[in-house]
Amino acid sequence: MKSRMCCGIALVQVLIMVAMISLFLLYIQQVNSAKIKQTERVKLRANAEAALQSAKAEVEFQLLTNSIKLVDANNNFDQEDNRRNWNLHGKKFQLEGNVYASIQDHAGLISIHRYSSLRMTRVLKALGMNETQVLKLISALRDWQDEDSSTADAGIDGVVEYKIRNGLVSQISELSWFSSLDEKMLKQVTSLFTAHFNGEFNPLTAPDNLLRAEVGEDYGDNIVALRDNGQLTVNQFQNLTGVVRGDGIRFSPSNWFSVLLEYSEQDITIRRKYVLNVSPYSKSKKPVVLLEESSIR
């Protein structure tokens, strides 16, 4: 009887030990699995960073050598050439593999320093703002940047509680300091302005909503469709709209570009935004100057 009891106790002890060893082995397996996943994630991120650096170098090279060709459908790129899918009006395209890009020429945006009130009025109304809201924003912008403290119609000089800049806007985000736009409208408006380029306006590289506002309802959708299909040429645009080079209009890109690069694989997504000044023929500075760099969530 006593012998059977001892055997039973021994059996229970063995079972407990087996259970403990099994739990320990399971724990080790889970730890190793987590480490493997972590290692794979680190490798994915390293690959993503390398791919983004390579993509940035490719974008810089193409902007230095082919920016004019990327505007006109008569670019002489072969049918199989991936550059036929590139654009300079901010529309997302596949660069290579898991890397996507969008490039915005600043000549296709509205200069916040030297803007056309007519152009700004048209696009703000196209975004859904009424006459009063448009007048208020344009007047506030004028007051913010002029050198005096007199109040324009519907302006802000002497009205807001903090000091007015009375100087040129240095960053587009300053619009949030003196405008009463809600977050959604503010995001739409700021995406159409530049504080870097003050030259002539290029409708061929304008974002879709700005291009539609520029050419009007009669031609807007047709021209946007032609551009999306890679069929819009300078001559075709001029013939359709009557808008020609000169008097504040250009059809060549500027030297300023906003570039958004995105790498996405499995659960890894990395977005980087750059503002580049590209000067292929400059002898006094680097051919590509990085003005801004940020990570986008």
Query: CA-CA distance, 225 to 73, in Å (whole number)?
Result: 13
The reported pTM is: 0.81
What pLDDT score was predicted for residue 158? 43
What pLDDT score was predicted for residue 263? 94
Query: CA-CA distance, 231 to 161, in Å (whole number)?
Result: 51
What pLDDT score was predicted for residue 169? 81
> Checking DSSP bridges between strand 193-194 and strand 110-111, what pairing results, if any?
parallel
What pLDDT score was predicted for residue 154? 46
What pLDDT score was predicted for residue 3? 60
Q: What are the domain boundaries of the chain?
A: 1-109+197-206+232-297, 110-193
What pLDDT score was predicted for residue 266? 83
Q: What spatial distance separates the first Cα and last Cα of the chain, rounded to whole Å?
A: 72
Cβ–Cβ < 8 Å for 106, 166? no
Residue 191 Cα to chain centre, angstroms: 9
Strands annotated E in 159-246: 193-194
Query: CA-CA distance, 195 to 71, in Å (whole number)?
Result: 22
**Mind listing the pLDDT tens digit for each residue in 180-224?**
788 888 889 889 999 999 899 999 999 999 999 999 888 889 999
What pLDDT score was predicted for residue 82? 82
Give the chain's length: 297
- Residue 256: exposure state from Cβ atoms within 10 A (0-12, 13-18, ≥19): buried
What pLDDT score was predicted for residue 161? 47
What pLDDT score was predicted for residue 200? 93
What pLDDT score was predicted for residue 23? 74
Residues (pLDDT < 50) of the chain are: 153-154, 157-162
What pLDDT score was predicted for residue 93? 95
Topology of the domain comprising 110-193: Ribonucleotide Reductase Protein R1; domain 1 (1.10.40)
